[in-house]
C-alpha cells in the first residue's frame, strides 16, 4: 500500500512522539508499504526551523534528505504538472 505522510507524522515518527497512533506506527514500520515524503514537508520543516517556530536538531535540518532516505521513504517531488 502507498501512504503519503504529512509533516507532523514525519516529525512525530522521528521523535517517537506518543501523538503518533499505534496504527500509523505499524503502517510506517511495515516495509511492504511505500511511504512517501513530500518535498513540501521538507520545505515546511526547514522554514519553521529558520523562523524559530520549530526548533529541531541541526543534524536533522542539515541532513533532512538523508533522514528521509535512511527511513526508506520515497521522495515525492514538487511539480506543477
pTM attached to this predicted model: 0.86
What are the pLDDT digits (tens) for 15-41? Answer: 999 999 999 999 999 999 999 999 999
User: What is the residue-averaged pLDDT of the chain?
Assistant: 93
Task: Report whether pLDDT(81) > 80.
Answer: no
Across the range 4-14, mean pLDDT stands at: 95
CA-based nearest residue to 37, from 15, 60, 67: 67
Q: What is the structure's pLDDT at 58?
A: 87
Whether the predicted pLDDT of 43 surpasses 90: yes
Q: Which residues contact 9 (CB under 8 A, 6 or more apart)?
A: 20, 24, 28
**Element at 37 (helix H, strand E):** strand 34-38
Amino acid at each position: 500500500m502507498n501512504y503519503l505522510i504529512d509533516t507532523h507524522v514525519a516529525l512525530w515518527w522521528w521523535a517517537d512522539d506518543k501523538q503518533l497512533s499505534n496504527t500509523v506506527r505499524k503502517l510506517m514500520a511495515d516495509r511492504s508499504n511505500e511511504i512517501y515524503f513530500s518535498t513540501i514537508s521538507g520545505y515546511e520543516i526547514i522554514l519553521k526551523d529558520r523562523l524559530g517556530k520549530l526548533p529541531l536538531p541541526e543534524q536533522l535540518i542539515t541532513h533532512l534528505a538523508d533522514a528521509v532516505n535512511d527511513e526508506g521513504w520515497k521522495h515525492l517531488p514538487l511539480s506543477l504538472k
